[in-house]
Amino acid sequence: VTKVNHHLVMLNSACVHAQCVKNGAACNWTPKARGGTCVQNATGTWTCQCNPGYVGRHCDLCDKGMTAVDGACAPHNLVKLYANKTRLVCGGSGKIIGDAPTALACQCDEDAVPHGQLCASKKCLNTRLAGSVCTGHGECYKDACVCAEGYHGDLCDCRVRNIRAVAGVTASTAVFFGLLFLSAARCHRTPAR
């Protein structure tokens, strides 16, 4: 940020009124967020005119129905919240297309498929069960299945027998971090439907 005079600053080769700048960004315009534009209103005051999905004096807050993910706002229905509190747009396997707040959808990456309104990595598909994601016993986190309690395996297709907590670690916590301690290592595969 370079001061041009007491009212204007230089940001990314453009002059912007200082009233629109917060944390080095004009109206939350960053590589990830497109919060708004600095405009002069009828009274001559410079303000941020927020894009759909953004609110606040500097367009740095998410509007109703939107969730903050990595500094940008995305519609709730296109954001997956995982057990480890990570939020990923389009399940981490796609990007949002369209204009907020309507006409938004996930466009899945080449190595992913639609899964509801989100996307799931093809590595999470169980082809024996008509392409079900994590055999219906877990959720796809990036490129791997995170199995529900009672299941394990790359595709959550093995039932766990004799689950017990080891050193205070529950089965669901252990599965998430890949540390599952099983007293019976035999896989009891979920039958094909």
pTM of the model: 0.68
Q: Which two tokens mark 13? A: 């080769």
Long-range contacts of 46-49 (CB under 8 A, 24+ apart): 46/17, 46/19, 46/20, 47/19, 47/20, 48/20
DSSP, res 29: B
Distance separating alpha carbons of residues 56 and 173, to the nearest angstrom: 38
Query: Which residues of the chain are modeled with pLDDT < 50?
Result: 179-185, 192-193
Give the pLDDT of residue 186: 54
Residue 111 is predicted with a pLDDT of 95
Q: Determine the residue type at 63.
A: D
Tokens encoding 146: 């995170």
Token pair in block for residue 95: 């990007």
| Domains annotated on the chain, with CATH | 1-63 (no CATH), 123-189 (2.10.25)
51 token code pair: 């894009």
| Whole-number percent of the chain with pLDDT over 70 | 77
Q: What pLDDT, on the 0 to 100 scale, is given for residue 183? A: 37
Q: Which residue has the tokens 């230089």?
A: 10
pLDDT of residue 192: 47
